[in-house]
């Protein structure tokens, strides 16, 4: 490649690439480079692409070229010897240049060296003026098999075209170029009798002669689409013309205007098709509303594919006759009553098909329909839907089904494998559909359906692909906690539930999908994933992208991990979920990093920090290790300090109010709900004597003798009146509550006794919280006690002189006991 600026051409900007797995032959792509001269190529370059560049041909090409693409340049003429020595060239594309179809441009010897040329494209070049068509150039192209050319005159294919004995395909379509034929007559193609493929679409055809194609005995594919004024009126002559051909494919899309009344296909239109070997018939976008009875029967038994997309088909008796098309394999009736774009509305004024008297008069049609009704008796009606014996594909996308799909029966001998009911506003998938024993593909997507029963798929166990995306099945699936919806789909390999407003899926929803390979659940509203999938051994991909997952929980990660161990080729998509970069999601972040080879596009998945910043999952793993460690330490220290202060505070409060709490506890336990017989003074005892065991002789013997025997008081004494078997604290609380006064026999022994102090504090609480602040305590200074040893609460009583000292002399004792009796007696 020495001497060249690039690896295979003289222009370094050209892109060179090897053909196939070897590096012996190359393609040089010099398109869209703005170059004005044809680059010189090396001998190992066999394909040269020069679109959108040069304005003229002044340099000869390397003779090693097989394919030369000069389309969409600004070439206006050919220099002498422009294609000299291109004896190996098989394909020449001159489409989209300024090369008018005139003999002044296409001089007689321009193609003389193209002995091996098989395909020539000179379409979309003429400026559509009237030219003197070049006739003498074709004698050099005896090997030509495919010709793509504009039609400037219906007579341009004269006798010189008989020299193109190898020509098999003629493309004069006005879709990609210019074509104006008008009437299709026998003379138009008479000089090309060996054609197998003819494309005369968008050629402004208005009529078809009965013998127009009678010489085309090898014809297999004919495209007459986009000739809006041709109409079905031409079908009778067309079918007659094709009777002696080998026709396999007929494309007659949009041979009626876009707007107007509905069309009606009659038996007479297609009567001669029964003598053909037609296999594919396309009648899209023809305003076709109905068929005359027996039209399906007249169609040839060889017909395999029929398409009637974007028509206005209504339900009629003709539908029941399609079962007679024994060879039919596929029918496409999608997008009935399709509304064209507003931009095409102008066609309503520019294109109007004439209404044929014999075809579209309402009275004639009504008579025929009435006759059909008479001939079609009710007993022939079969409640089971029957298909042709070889029928496998049925497409009814966007036909306006606005009802629930209830129970439907199909004859069990059908072979239907592909059913498309997508883009229909179905109100409920109720079912079941019975008899579809060989159905493999079912498309129910984009139906906006809100309901799916658990028995809808009960009789479709053969399904391999099920598309339910773009519906509203979230609630139905969430309520199926036992996983009954897909229980019989044991052969299903692909399930699409994307865009279904799913918020949560039950654990068992996919329990029986043992052969599932692909699960698509993207574009839903799931906040968590708890579905069991580790048993799905054949699962290869699962898409959870574009949901509302902030993290995967432990069970979900464990389930995925088990699946990864069993099947290393499985992938999971988690992109476009609002994952959180928090310490709570730390385990998920680490899990995702460890299993990143199973997660699609892991490098571009992000999570969001508390401050709103987004970072990649890979960076988040290391960040959270540091952040969460410090965060946990700070949290522990702060929590410990708070707990310490709480404990101190609570302990202080408990200690401060310890006697109140004890009092409330025992009062509640004994069911004395802070109430007492104080209001009516109905106490059981006049006084409860609280004393230390060491002072018992005085507290018991003398108090009984002086207060009970001599002065008539009723005393409560622990040794005598406490109920055996009851807790001492309960007895004390009950004694204080039932006594008008509590007499404290104060001494050092009393201060050292736990139960004595308990009795004192309980009596004090009684005074404060039950007796409305009235004094309950009566203090007897039985033995002198130093004020230093007294508790503060008791010291307050002593300092307020709310006590009486025991005199221990005969005269003083009388006054002492009288004073006690006066204090404890019931008021008059």
pLDDT tens digits, one per residue of 643-652:
888 888 777 7
Q: Indicate the pTM of the whole model.
A: 0.72
In this structure, how many other beta carbons lie within 10 angstroms of the beta carbon of residue 515?
A: 15
pLDDT of residue 486: 96
Which tokens in the block code for residue 72? Answer: 């969409």
Please state, in angstroms and rounded to a whole number, the distance separating the CA atoms of residues 306 and 251. 10
Q: CB-based contacts of 712: which residues, under 8 Å, 6+ apart?
A: none
Q: Is the pLDDT of residue 346 over 70?
A: no
Please state, in angstroms and rounded to a whole number, the distance separating the CA atoms of residues 432 and 224. 42
pLDDT of residue 660: 64
Averaging pLDDT over each range in 430-439, 639-648, 756-765, which range is the top one? 430-439
The DSSP call for residue 33 is S
Please state, in angstroms and rounded to a whole number, the distance separating the CA atoms of residues 255 and 353. 10
Is residue 601 within 8 A of residue 566, CB to CB? The reply is: no
Alpha helix (H) residue ranges in 299-401 = 347-350, 357-360, 362-375
* Residue 660 phi, psi (nearest 5): -65, -40
Is residue 491 within 8 A of residue 465, CB to CB? The reply is: no
H/E stretch holding 62:
none
pLDDT of residue 673: 42
Select the more confidently predicted residue: 640 or 456. 456
Query: Between the CA of residue 588 and those of 130, 535, 557, what are the distances in Å?
Result: 75, 22, 8
pLDDT of residue 634: 61
Question: pLDDT above 70 covers what percent of the chain?
Answer: 89
pLDDT of residue 358: 44
DSSP three-state, residue 283: coil
pLDDT of residue 344: 61
In this structure, how many other beta carbons lie within 10 angstroms of the beta carbon of residue 499?
A: 19
Please state, in angstroms and rounded to a whole number, the distance separating the CA atoms of residues 791 and 820. 24
pLDDT of residue 669: 60
Please state, in angstroms and rounded to a whole number, the distance separating the CA atoms of residues 818 and 825. 10
The DSSP call for residue 564 is H
DSSP three-state, residue 620: helix
Q: Which of 434, 429, 420 is nearest to 448 (CA)?
A: 429
Q: Which of 429, 418, 510 is nearest to 472 (CA)?
A: 429
Confidence of residue 376 (pLDDT cuts 50, 70, 90): very low
pLDDT of residue 378: 38
pLDDT of residue 510: 95
Please state, in angstroms and rounded to a whole number, the distance separating the CA atoms of residues 38 and 495. 53
DSSP three-state, residue 583: helix
In this structure, how many other beta carbons lie within 10 angstroms of the beta carbon of residue 166?
A: 13
CA 665 to chain centre: 61
Which tokens in the block code for residue 218? Answer: 């090898």
As a three-state string, the secondary structure of 627-679 is HHHHHHHHHHHHHHHHHHHHHHHHHHHHHHCHHHHHHHHHHHHCCCCCCCCCC
Q: CB-based contacts of 310: which residues, under 8 Å, 6+ apart?
A: 284, 285, 334, 335, 336, 338
Q: Is the pLDDT of residue 18 over 50?
A: yes
Confidence of residue 356 (pLDDT cuts 50, 70, 90): low
Q: Is the pLDDT of residue 745 over 80?
A: yes
Residue with tokens 């659940």: 521
Rounding to the nearest 10 degrees, give the CA dihedral for residues 586, 591, 597, 599: -70
Confidence of residue 667 (pLDDT cuts 50, 70, 90): low
Q: Is the pLDDT of residue 377 over 80?
A: no
Averaging pLDDT over each range in 8-12, 105-109, 269-273, 461-465, which range is the top one? 461-465
Q: CB-based contacts of 789: which residues, under 8 Å, 6+ apart?
A: 748, 751
CA 413 to chain centre: 35
701-723: average pLDDT = 87
Query: Between the CA of residue 344 and those of 259, 347, 766, what are the distances in Å?
Result: 9, 6, 98
385-405: average pLDDT = 91
Confidence of residue 523 (pLDDT cuts 50, 70, 90): very high
Q: Is the pLDDT of residue 809 over 60?
A: yes
The DSSP call for residue 151 is B
Q: CB-based contacts of 288: which residues, under 8 Å, 6+ apart?
A: 262, 263, 264, 265, 308, 311, 312, 313
Q: CB-based contacts of 528: which residues, under 8 Å, 6+ apart?
A: 504, 549, 553, 556
Q: Is the pLDDT of residue 362 over 80?
A: no
717-726: average pLDDT = 86
As a three-state string, the secondary structure of 157-203 is CCHHHHHCCCCCEEECCCCCCCECCCEECHHHCCCCCCCCEEECCCC
534-546: average pLDDT = 93
Please state, in angstroms and rounded to a whole number, the distance separating the CA atoms of residues 616 and 604. 7
Residue 523, Ramachandran bin (φ over 0: left; ψ between -120 and 50: alpha; else beta):
left
pLDDT of residue 545: 95
Averaging pLDDT over each range in 208-217, 679-688, 798-807, which range is the top one? 208-217
Please state, in angstroms and rounded to a whole number, the distance separating the CA atoms of residues 70 and 125. 12
Is residue 257 within 8 A of residue 353, CB to CB? The reply is: yes
788-813: average pLDDT = 76
752-774: average pLDDT = 82
Angle (nearest 5°) at CA 191 between 190 and 192:
95
Please state, in angstroms and rounded to a whole number, the distance separating the CA atoms of residues 234 and 717. 128
Is residue 328 within 8 A of residue 392, CB to CB? The reply is: no
Averaging pLDDT over each range in 19-23, 159-163, 379-383, 759-763, which range is the top one? 159-163
Q: Is the pLDDT of residue 509 over 90?
A: yes
Q: Which of 329, 189, 180, 295 is nearest to 245 (CA)?
A: 189
pLDDT of residue 658: 66
Q: What is the mean pLDDT of the chain?
A: 86
pLDDT of residue 82: 87
pLDDT of residue 507: 94
Strands 305-307 and 280-282: parallel
Determine whether 540 is exposed, middle or buried from the number of CB atoms within 10 Å of its CB (0-12, 13-18, 19+): middle
Residue with tokens 């069309």: 263
* Residue 757 phi, psi (nearest 5): -65, -35
Q: Is the pLDDT of residue 136 over 80?
A: yes
Please state, in angstroms and rounded to a whole number, the distance separating the CA atoms of residues 438 and 440. 6
587-605: average pLDDT = 91
Q: For residue 744, list its beta bridge partners.
A: 690, 779
Q: Is the pLDDT of residue 375 over 50?
A: no
Question: pLDDT above 90 covers what percent of the chain?
Answer: 46
Strands 541-543 and 330-332: unpaired
Q: Is the pLDDT of residue 370 over 50?
A: no
pLDDT of residue 342: 60
Confidence of residue 802 (pLDDT cuts 50, 70, 90): low
Which tokens in the block code for residue 334? Answer: 């999608």
DSSP three-state, residue 39: coil
Is residue 89 within 8 A of residue 66, CB to CB? The reply is: yes
Strands 606-608 and 579-580: parallel
pLDDT of residue 801: 56
Is residue 143 within 8 A of residue 121, CB to CB? The reply is: no
pLDDT of residue 630: 55
pLDDT in tens, 233-279: 999 999 999 988 999 999 999 999 888 888 889 998 888 899 899 99
Residue with tokens 């017909």: 303
pLDDT of residue 219: 96
As a three-state string, the secondary structure of 103-137 is CCCCCCCCCCCCCCCCEEEECCCCCCCCCCCCCHH
Q: Is the pLDDT of residue 524 over 90?
A: yes
Q: Which of 478, 520, 473 is nearest to 495 (CA)?
A: 520
Please state, in angstroms and rounded to a whole number, the distance separating the CA atoms of residues 202 and 224. 7
pLDDT in tens, 60-79: 789 999 999 999 999 988 88
Query: Dihedral of CA 706/710/713/719: which sign?
Result: positive
Q: Which of 498, 502, 336 is nearest to 424 (CA)?
A: 336
């Amino acid at each position: 490649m020495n001497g060249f600026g690039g690896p295979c051409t003289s222009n370094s900007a050209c892109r060179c690439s090897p053909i196939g797995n070897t590096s012996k032959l190359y393609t040089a792509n010099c398109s869209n480079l703005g170059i004005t001269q044809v680059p010189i190529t090396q001998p190992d370059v066999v394909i040269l692409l020069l679109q959108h560049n040069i304005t003229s041909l002044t340099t000869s090409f390397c003779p090693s070229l097989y394919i030369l693409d000069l389309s969409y340049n600004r070439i206006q003429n050919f220099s002498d010897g422009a294609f000299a020595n291109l004896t190996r060239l098989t394909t020449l594309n001159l489409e989209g240049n300024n090369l008018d179809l005139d003999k002044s441009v296409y001089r007689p010897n321009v193609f003389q060296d193209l002995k091996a040329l098989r395909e020539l494209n000179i379409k979309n070049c003429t400026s559509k003026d009237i030219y003197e068509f070049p006739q003498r150039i074709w004698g050099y192209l005896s090997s030509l098999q495919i010709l793509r050319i504009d039609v400037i005159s219906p007579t341009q294919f004269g006798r010189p075209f008989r020299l193109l004995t190898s020509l098999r395909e003629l493309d004069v379509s006005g879709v990609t170029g210019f074509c104006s034929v008008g009437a299709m007559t026998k003379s138009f193609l008479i000089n090309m009798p060996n054609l197998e493929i003819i494309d005369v679409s968008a050629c402004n055809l208005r009529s078809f002669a009965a013998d127009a194609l009678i010489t085309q005995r090898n014809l297999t594919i004919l495209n007459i689409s986009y000739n809006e004024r041709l109409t079905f009126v031409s079908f009778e002559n067309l079918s007659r013309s094709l009777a002696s051909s080998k026709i396999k494919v007929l494309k007659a899309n949009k041979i009626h205007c876009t707007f107007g009344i509905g069309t009606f296909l009659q038996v007479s239109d297609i009567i001669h098709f029964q003598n053909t070997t037609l296999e594919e018939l396309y009648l899209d976008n023809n305003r076709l509303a109905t068929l005359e009875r027996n039209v399906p029967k007249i169609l040839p038994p060889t017909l395999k594919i029929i398409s009637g997309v974007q028509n206005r088909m209504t339900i009629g008796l003709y539908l029941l006759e399609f079962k007679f098309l024994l060879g039919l394999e596929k029918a496409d009736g999608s997008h009935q009553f399709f509304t064209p774009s507003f931009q095409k509305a102008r066609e309503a004024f520019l294109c109007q098909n004439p209404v044929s008297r014999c075809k579209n008069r309402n009275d004639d049609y009504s008579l025929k329909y009435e006759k059909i009704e008479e001939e079609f008796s009710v007993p022939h009606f079969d409640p089971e839907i029957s298909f042709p014996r070889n029928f496998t594909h049925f497409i009814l996308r966007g036909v306006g089904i606005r009802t629930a799909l209830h129970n439907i029966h199909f004859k069990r001998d059908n072979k239907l494998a592909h059913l498309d009911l997508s883009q229909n506003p179905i109100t409920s998938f109720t079912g079941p559909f019975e008899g579809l024993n060989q159905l493999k593909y079912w498309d129910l997507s984009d139906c906006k359906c809100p309901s799916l029963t658990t028995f809808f798929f009960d009789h479709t166990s053969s399904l391999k692909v099920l598309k339910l995306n773009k519906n509203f099945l979230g609630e139905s699936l969430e309520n199926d906690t036992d996983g009954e919806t897909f229980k019989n789909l044991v052969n299903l390999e692909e399930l699409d539930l994307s865009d279904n407003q799913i918020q949560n899926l039950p654990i068992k929803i996919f329990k029986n999908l043992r052969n599932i390979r692909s699960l698509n659940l993207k574009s839903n509203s799931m906040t968590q994933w708890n579905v069991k999938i580790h048993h799905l051994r054949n699962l290869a991909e699962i898409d959870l992208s574009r949901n509302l997952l902030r993290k995967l929980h432990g069970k979900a990660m464990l389930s995925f991990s088990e699946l990864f161990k069993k099947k290393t080729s499985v992938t999971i998509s988690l992109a476009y979920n609002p994952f959180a970069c928090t310490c709570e999601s730390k385990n998920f972040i680490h899990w995702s990093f460890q299993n990143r080879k199973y997660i699609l596009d892991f490098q571009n998945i992000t999570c969001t920090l508390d401050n709103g910043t987004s970072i990649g999952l890979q960076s988040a793993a290391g960040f959270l290790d540091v952040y969460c460690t410090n965060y946990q330490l700070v949290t522990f220290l702060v929590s410990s300090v708070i707990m310490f202060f709480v404990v101190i505070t609570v302990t202080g409060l408990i200690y401060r109010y310890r006697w109140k709490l004890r009092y409330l506890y025992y009062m509640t336990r004994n069911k004395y709900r802070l109430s007492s017989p104080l209001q009516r003074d109905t106490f059981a005892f006049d006084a409860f004597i609280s004393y230390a065991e060491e002072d018992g002789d005085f507290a018991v013997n003398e108090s009984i003798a002086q207060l009970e025997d001599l002065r008539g008081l009723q005393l409560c004494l622990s040794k005598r009146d406490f109920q055996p078997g009851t807790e001492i604290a309960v007895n004390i609380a009950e004694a204080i509550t039932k006594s008008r006064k509590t007499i404290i026999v104060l001494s050092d022994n009393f201060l050292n006794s736990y139960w004595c102090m308990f009795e004192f504090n309980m009596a004090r609480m009684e005074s404060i919280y039950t007796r409305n602040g009235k004094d309950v305590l009566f203090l007897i200074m039985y033995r002198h006690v130093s004020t230093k040893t007294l508790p503060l609460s008791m010291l307050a009583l002593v300092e307020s002189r709310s006590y009486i000292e025991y005199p221990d002399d005969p005269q003083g004792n009388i006054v002492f006991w009288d004073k006690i009796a006066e204090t404890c007696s019931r008021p008059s």
